[in-house]
Amino acid sequence: MSHIVHDLIARGDARVVDHPAQAPVRHQVEADRNFGLPTALYAGTVAGYLGFLLVVGSAFANPVLAIPMAIFVVFIIAGFGIPAIWTRLAGNTSSPQTMGEFEQRGIMTNTGRLAARDATIQVLILPVLLVIWGLAIAAIAAGVA
């Protein structure tokens, strides 16, 4: 690419202009701290993880489990809360998609565009399976006891 530009300059066909004195500074990398998914999907994920802890914590209620359960809750809140704060930092001009935009456009992934239904299934499959697993374990423990 630069070889072509040098040829144009050497032939005299290129027009070289000075940089404007008051041009705004433009960064090469735009700050996009948004993850592209609607906030409701993140809230559903957090609800699934916390729901699992609620089911397991209430099924196996024991004072010894209070501290580990509290630590898990703090980790889950921190794991989703810090990125949520990160998306609201100064200089981030993007905002998450609304549910309507998400339903219309879906989301672009590394392997191609995903429809909203498929992306929702991929995001929520683990939290939903964890809640089902917690309910199954609680039912088994109640049946054995």
Provide the pLDDT confidence category of residue 111 given band limits of 50, 70 and 90. Answer: confident
Tokens 């290129």 correspond to 14
What's the confidence (pLDDT) of residue 12?
74
- 21 within domain boundaries: no
Q: Is 15 inside any structural domain?
A: no
- Examine residue 102 and state whether it is found in any structural domain, yes or no: yes
Domain residues for the domain of 81 are 33-144
Whether 86 is in a domain gets the answer yes
Domain count, the chain: 1
Could you report the per-residue pLDDT of 50-101, keeping only the tens digit for each? Answer: 999 999 999 999 999 999 999 999 999 999 999 888 888 777 777 888 899 9
Tell me, yes or no, whether 41 lies in a domain. yes
pTM over 0.85: no
Residue 112: inside a domain? yes
Summarised one tens digit per residue, pLDDT across range 1-58 is 456 667 777 777 777 677 777 767 766 666 666 778 898 999 999 999 999 999 999 9
In a domain, residue 24? The reply is: no
> Is residue 2 domain-resident?
no
